[in-house]
């Protein structure tokens, strides 16, 4: 088992946000967590990566990654884990990027921080990774500032950086919600292509159960900090047991009697 989360509870101050969360993940597996805003989805993956916002703290449960208890991690343990073994794609990667630094400068700095590559080696490797995300004119892209790029391009760059070291675990927080429908489909396809090639496991957080159905093998439905339904994606989509899950499915667009993920 790559990741095992058992009875995890998380609070901000005295307010419990996540209650008794259970989640398991094998190598190369994709698990989606769906639910409305405020259901605790993002809080769960932030806890797994050790980056809960100020005031957030784990009040109960266990988290094991590669057999190691994450709750016992030191600052140095987290530094070694984040970026190389586990990485995150944010909802808007543009907010992650430094607005006054060129893309190439940021990507090279990130690579050099987590490896022994020289700057010239890192520059070549970064450009190759951008090519894998099917980004055009990568040489010019490396010289661009974030504000000069579209949302879809920034998102692809965020995924490229997160996937550079072939992490065993990718945490994706609403990676397509800020994009138009066509770009959503392209980004999801490219992300799955890279993850399948590198056997990277994914935890996808989304409010869109259609996107979750398209990407995942297992599905977890959350509401108000608790799991209301969990299991194989196909089984939940075809035979939902929770009324809340049924309502989420009803929200997926339908054309000609067929529901579409995007």
Handedness of CA 160, 162, 164, 169 (dihedral sign): negative
Q: How confident is the model at residue 122 (pLDDT cuts 50, 70, 90)?
A: very high
pTM above 0.85, yes or no: yes
Structure confidence at residue 128 (pLDDT):
93
Q: Which of the listed residues 117, 144, 166 is the one where a domain comes to its end?
A: 166
Q: What is the DSSP string of 51-69?
A: -PPTTEEEEEEEEEETTEE
Q: Which of the listed residues 142, 166, 190 is the one where a domain comes to its end?
A: 166
Give every CB contact of residue 60 below 8 A, 6+ residues apart in sequence.
7, 8, 9, 20
In a shared domain, residues 252 and 190 = yes
Query: In 10 A of CB 58, how many CB atoms?
Result: 17
Position 128 in a domain = yes
Position 230 in a domain = yes
Residues 178-233: tens digit of each pLDDT: 777 777 777 788 778 878 888 899 999 988 888 888 889 999 999 999 999 999 99
Structure confidence at residue 165 (pLDDT):
92
Consecutive H or E run containing 101: none
Burial of 34 by CB count in 10 Å (0-12 exposed, 13-18 middle, 19+ buried)? buried
Which of 58-67, 92-101, 155-164 ranks highest by mean pLDDT?
58-67
Look at the chain and report how many structural domains it folds into: 2
Q: How confident is the model at residue 47 (pLDDT cuts 50, 70, 90)?
A: very high
Percentage of the chain beyond pLDDT 90 is 61
Residue 156 sits in which domain range? 96-166
Q: Which of the listed residues 147, 166, 185 is the one where a domain comes to its end?
A: 166
Structure confidence at residue 209 (pLDDT):
84
Structure confidence at residue 259 (pLDDT):
55
In a shared domain, residues 121 and 177 = no
Residue 103 has pLDDT above 80, yes or no: yes
Structure confidence at residue 262 (pLDDT):
44
In a shared domain, residues 158 and 174 = no
In a shared domain, residues 122 and 162 = yes
Position 68 in a domain = no
- How far is it, in rounded angstroms, from Cα 42 to Cα 238? 26
In a shared domain, residues 222 and 240 = yes
In a shared domain, residues 196 and 258 = yes
Alpha helical stretches, state H, 57-149: 75-81, 93-96, 103-113, 119-132, 138-142
| CATH number of the domain that residue 194 is part of | 3.40.50.300
Position 260 in a domain = yes
- Hey, what are 56's tokens? 């957030």
């Amino acid at each position: 088992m790559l990741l095992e989360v058992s009875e995890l509870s998380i609070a901000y101050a005295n307010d419990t946000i996540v209650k008794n969360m259970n989640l398991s993940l094998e190598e190369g597996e994709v698990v989606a967590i769906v639910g409305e805003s405020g259901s605790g989805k993002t809080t769960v993956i932030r806890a797994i990566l050790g980056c809960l916002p100020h005031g957030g703290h784990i009040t109960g449960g266990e988290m094991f990654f590669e057999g190691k208890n994450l709750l016992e991690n030191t600052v140095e343990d987290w530094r070694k884990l984040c970026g190389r073994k586990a990485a995150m794609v944010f909802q808007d990667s543009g907010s992650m990027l430094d607005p006054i630094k060129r893309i190439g400068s940021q990507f090279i700095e990130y690579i050099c921080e987590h490896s022994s590559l020289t700057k010239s080696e890192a520059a070549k490797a970064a450009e190759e990774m951008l090519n894998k995300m099917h980004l055009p004119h990568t040489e010019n892209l490396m010289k661009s500032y974030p504000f000069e790029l579209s949302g879809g391009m920034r998102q692809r760059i965020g995924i490229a950086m997160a996937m550079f070291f072939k992490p065993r675990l990718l945490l994706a927080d609403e990676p397509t919600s800020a994009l138009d429908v066509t770009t959503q489909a392209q980004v999801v396809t490219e992300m799955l292509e890279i993850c399948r090639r590198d056997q990277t496991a994914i935890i996808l957080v989304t409010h869109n159960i259609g996107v979750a159905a398209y990407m995942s093998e297992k599905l977890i439905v959350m509401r108000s900090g608790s799991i209301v339904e969990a299991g194989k994606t196909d089984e939940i989509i075809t035979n939902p047991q929770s009324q809340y899950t049924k309502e989420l499915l009803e929200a997926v667009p339908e054309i000609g009697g067929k529901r579409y993920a995007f």
